[in-house]
Amino acid sequence: MICRKFIGFMFALSVVVIFSANVARAQSKTPPIIPAPISSNATTGTVKVSDGAVISFPNNDPDAQFAAEFLTAVVQRTRGIKLMLRPESGQAPNPALIVFRRNPAEHPMRRDSYDLQISDEGIQITAADRGGLLYGAVTLWGLLTADGARNGEAELNCGTISDAPELPWRGIMLDSARHMQSVEFIRQLIDWMALHKLNILHWHLTDDQGWRLEIKQYPKLTEIGAWRKLPSITGTTTRYGGYYTQGQVRGLVAYAAQRNITIVPEIEMPGHASAALAAYPQFGSSDVHLATPASEYGIFPTLYNVNEETLTFLENILTEVMQLFPGTYIHVGGDEAKKDQWKASPQIQAQMKALGIKDEDQLQSYFIKRIDAFLTAHGRRTLGWDEILEGGLASNATVMSWRGMQGGIAAAKQGHDAVLTPTRPLYFNYRQSDAADEAPGRFALNTLSDVYHFNTAPTELTAEERKHILGIQANLWTEYVITEDRVQWMLFPRMAALAEAAWLPPEKRNWNDFLARLVVQKKRYEALNIHDAPSAFRVRSTEHLNSGQNRVSVELHNQTGFGKIRYTVDGSAVTASSPIYEKPFDLSLPSRLRAATFHDGEIPGSAFDRELDAVSVRQRFSQDLNLCVNDPSIQMEPDPPVPGGPVMLANYQNPCWIYATADLTGIKGIAAQVDSLPYVFHDRRSRPPMPPQISAKSGELQVRLDTCSGAVIATLPLEPAVGHRNVTWLHTALPPLQGTHDLCLKFATSQTDPLWVINLVQLEPAQQ
Ligand code: ACM
């Protein structure tokens, strides 16, 4: 251990000197961890940490003990170093290398803060609370893994970090109602969140499609409400669902609490109630009874009643919820409650009159205020989506702003607390890039950069009002995010950007520096077996055909513009000495193009490798085509997914795509790889009719010239693909045409269900 004397003053983040594992080649000036610490400095010298290094923690301090154990486990897993745990006895023969200390005084304004000092005296983590002790451990783990090595001694530079989060609410919302995740997976997610210093897991447990929480007093909520019919393309249905037992929930809540994470349960009301009301129709607002939870997605009219019996039912449920979730906040939804059933119910209209309530918005406000009074009487706080502002906000309620920032701003101006989770950019069920290999999600892009640059301090608010902004949260809705692998793809690495946006004020964030640290973070993800999305660094190519010649002009880029792109065109592997891409280049066909983003001689993510030939350069995946109408579009896959199967982008109300500027000279045919999916969209009414012209029974894919009302130049009957649970190639000849045209590709079917989608289209040249 050789550290020079500590120089003794702090630098602001922007002028920090390098403080990292010696071996880390961080050009980044910040310690190579995510989120970056608010302040740090470095001295010279290093401390080595190797197998057998001792960690001590104060006797009888379970938080410090847990932080030390957490550090030991994650370091062993990701760095292969075995640390030895030792409770402090006061007369230890040798001082421990790593020491956890509890600050005697709580620092109420700096919750979750910690100091980490690396010096001649060893490594010390000092904090006043559980979060600070844990986050000190997480920072040390970051430094010990900063070189990306998976084993061997780590060498740390000497210096100090003094750190605290900007925002107290740093959250992720997981929707387990539309698709469930295993308890084991949620446990992993809690660990991953802790490693990003996030502290709120908002757990969406009930919705139209499923009720996922065991409630002892009302067993039918899970006997009936947890199981929906999953439609298939063959017309059969399977039973899909499940629920979390109270024992499992208690286990997860305790597991999260040790990791400084509060689980905030969400029990939706008065809308998104179809699953509950399938189980207990007597608490609904309509005589129309549902046999099962909804199999479709969208906004349903099904609302709870507002009578005393229903409020008692909900209070009894919330009583069990409060027993399971000891945190302050209980989320009661409040969003997207279409008031049709309340308007149509004579009993509810009579109740409104008796209460002197003038409209249904006010009635929802009355409903939420009753629930808020109940929760408040039990020492809890109500949290709801920003619709709870409509008709008047309950006195003790906190608003989760999702339809933009306005709900959060309005709440803060009224003196209420708010959490910012606007759809743009904090809905992680939106795609993170428009690449063809992106996972399913909503059409609009919430890129890594969008998340990173999210403004957590709205200028509409005064400094005083801003104190009501508790923090930020990313929401992952799972209608189209079916598997745990897909959940990871959507969460990572955007979770890293979210963590830094929550931890640092906007003026302290540095995008390029973050990207350099993300290169290291991706190695940690690999060591933790997190399947993150490659979107930020993966090379993409755009090829432009040179008309009449067997050549293309190739343009390479990656989403963030980070690093250098190197490439080869002779089939050889791309290395750190391959040519650097500077500008578009011509390539004769066929050629094998390989490319990768490089940073400091390494490839952060996977390489690009593509055979370019006369057919492949004329291929377009659905994502490479233009949608005829963008909204409402989803990138989707079959449910359950076909392993290795397609992910397709379609407007479900208007399945129509444009192959832009297709060079049709010398093209003899067109082939399309198509698939059909059960129509699971509740708002089917607004779909325009598209009757087929020649293939009345199964429908057809029409190819129209220049515009979608242009002449039909080819028709591909869907017959061969009907009922296939995977893609099918369709093929037809094209008439001889010259020059460049847009092609409109449009499904024409007499039925809305199934939804037909294109996966891939290719134009076939006469000579290849
Ligand atoms: C929401 O996305 N309906 C809160």
* pLDDT tens for each residue of 241-250: 999 999 999 9
Residue 406 has pLDDT above 90, yes or no: yes
Q: pLDDT for 179-192, tens place per residue? A: 999 999 999 999 99
Report the nearest atom of ligand 1 relative to the CA of 385.
4
What is the CATH code for 165-182+190-204+402-533? Answer: 3.20.20.80
Mean pLDDT (the chain) is 93
Residue 582 token pair: 């500077």
Identify the H or E element spanning 515: helix 511-528
Q: Is residue 609 annotated as part of the catalytic site, yes or no?
A: no
Residue 379 — φ and ψ, nearest 5°?
Answer: 80, 15
Candidate of 338, 402, 478, 481 to mutate for ligand 1, largest count of ligand atoms within 8 Å of Cβ? 402
Fold of the domain built from segment(s) 539-613: Immunoglobulin-like (2.60.40)
Cα–Cα distance measured from residue 283 to residue 217, given in angstroms and rounded to the nearest whole number:
15
Q: Where does the pLDDT of residue 725 fall: very low under 50, low under 70, confident under 90, or very high at 90 and above?
A: confident
Q: pLDDT for 71-101, tens place per residue? A: 999 999 999 999 999 998 767 667 899 999 9
Report the nearest atom of ligand 1 relative to the CA of 421.
4
Cα–Cα distance measured from residue 609 to residue 613, given in angstroms and rounded to the nearest whole number:
13
Residue 691, pLDDT score: 86
Q: Where does the pLDDT of residue 546 fall: very low under 50, low under 70, confident under 90, or very high at 90 and above?
A: confident
Residue 696, pLDDT score: 80
Cα–Cα distance measured from residue 685 to residue 179, given in angstroms and rounded to the nearest whole number:
25
Q: pLDDT for 455-486, tens place per residue? A: 999 999 999 999 999 999 999 999 999 999 99
Cα(475) to centroid of ligand 1, in Å?
9
Rounded to 5 degrees, what angle do the CA atoms 604, 609, 614 make? Answer: 150
Residue 686, pLDDT score: 64
Q: pLDDT for 643-681, tens place per residue? A: 889 999 999 999 999 999 999 999 999 999 999 999 999
Residue 506 token pair: 């906007």
- Sorted by sequence, the CB contacts under 8 Å of residue 423 that are 6+ apart come out as 402, 403, 404, 430, 444
Give bridge partners of residue 101 from the DSSP assignment: 126
The pTM of this model reads: 0.95
- Considering the chain, what percentage of its residues have pLDDT values greater than 70? 95
Instruction: Write 314-320 long-range contacts (CB < 8 A, 24+).
Output: 314/267, 314/269, 314/283, 314/371, 315/371, 315/374, 316/217, 316/218, 317/215, 317/217, 317/218, 317/221, 317/267, 318/267, 318/371, 318/374, 318/375, 319/378, 320/215, 320/216, 320/217, 320/246
Atom 3 in ligand 1: residue holding the nearest Cα: 335
Q: pLDDT for 377-397, tens place per residue? A: 999 999 999 999 999 999 989
Residue 1, pLDDT score: 56
Cα(221) to centroid of ligand 1, in Å?
22
Mean of the pLDDT values across residues 50-54? 96
Residue 2, pLDDT score: 65
Residue 14, pLDDT score: 32
Q: Residue 212's Cα: distance from chain center in Å? A: 20
Residue 410, pLDDT score: 97
Candidate of 178, 383, 385 to mutate for ligand 1, largest count of ligand atoms within 8 Å of Cβ? 385
Q: Where does the pLDDT of residue 107 fall: very low under 50, low under 70, confident under 90, or very high at 90 and above?
A: low
Atom 2 in ligand 1: residue holding the nearest Cα: 402
Residue 5, pLDDT score: 40
Residue 109, pLDDT score: 55
Taking a C-beta distance cutoff of 8 angstroms, is the pair 745, 656 a contact?
yes
Cα–Cα distance measured from residue 206 to residue 524, given in angstroms and rounded to the nearest whole number:
33
Cα(426) to centroid of ligand 1, in Å?
12
Taking a C-beta distance cutoff of 8 angstroms, is the pair 18, 40 a contact?
no
Fold of the domain built from segment(s) 23-163: Chitobiase; domain 2 (3.30.379)
Q: pLDDT for 267-311, tens place per residue? A: 999 999 999 999 999 999 999 999 999 999 999 999 999 999 999
Edge-to-edge, what's the strand order for the sheet holding 441-445? Answer: 430-431, 441-445, 633-636, 648-651
Residue 605, pLDDT score: 81
Residue 292, pLDDT score: 97
Report the nearest atom of ligand 1 relative to the CA of 272.
3
Report the nearest atom of ligand 1 relative to the CA of 333.
4
Which residue has 């305790």 as its token pair? 254
Cα(525) to centroid of ligand 1, in Å?
29
Residue 7 has pLDDT above 50, yes or no: no
Three-state SS letters, 183-196: HHHHHHHHHHHHCC
> What does the domain layout of the chain look like in residue ranges?
23-163, 165-182+190-204+402-533, 539-613, 619-765
Kindly name the residue from 179, 272, 331, 416 that is annotated as catalytic: 272
Kindly name the residue from 147, 207, 513, 543 that is annotated as catalytic: 207
CATH class assigned to 619-765: mainly beta
Identify the H or E element spanning 418: strand 418-420
Candidate of 204, 336, 442, 481 to mutate for ligand 1, largest count of ligand atoms within 8 Å of Cβ? 336
Q: Where does the pLDDT of residue 108 fall: very low under 50, low under 70, confident under 90, or very high at 90 and above?
A: low
